[in-house]
Amino acid sequence: MKNVILFASGNGSNAERIMHYFKGREGYNVSAVFTNNAKAGVIQKSEAYNVPVIVFNWEDMANGTLLKKVKNTTPDIIVLAGFLWKFPGDIIKEYPDRVINIHPALLPKYGGKGMYGMNVHAAVYNNKEKESGITIHYVNDNYDEGNIIFQQTVAVDECISPEEVALKVLQLEHEYFPVIIERLLSNKSD
């Protein structure tokens, strides 16, 4: 059984899509959702899929408690699905090349600290980009600088708002993120 754990901070649409994708899929299990937000929408979504939720705070990250809780879930892959804090270095070190993130733009453009959510889409829109897309990448100690695993583009030159850019990119996220997770897990030996 390949265990997937998710980290999310907000509504959790990508987390929900991933849980839905792997539900009933033989050999795969979303074993936990971690969130730094006790009021996050992802909590209800996780409960609907009977996936345990672990809420944590800064102190848990700083004192190693979070790493212990992650180890208890025996993850084969750790997926950041809308997680807004800088990911802890001790977990990255413990699970090299097993922590991945999705970014709502074509890195290296529009990446780095502060470039998340509508900030990214507004920048893409305001710069009149012809295309945007998604980047799935490994997580390292720097925001959005890990090795790129997968990118997919979408035309945004006819979009009339950053919100329209966001909708087009979100469709890509939902379509490709679970598939790439499964591909990565199927390439890892037991």
Catalytic sites, residue numbers: 103
Tokens 């270095």, residue located? 89
Contact (CB, 8 A) for 91 and 129: no
Here the tokens at position 83 are 């997680």
How distant, in Å, are the alpha carbons of 20, 23, 76, 178, 184 from that of 187?
Answer: 21, 20, 11, 14, 5
Lateral strand order in the sheet of 28-35: 53-55, 28-35, 2-8, 77-80, 99-103, 131-138, 148-155
* CA 103, 104, 109, 114 torsion-angle sign: negative
Calpha distance 171→164 (Å, rounded): 11
Q: Are 135 and 108 in contact (CB under 8 A)?
A: no
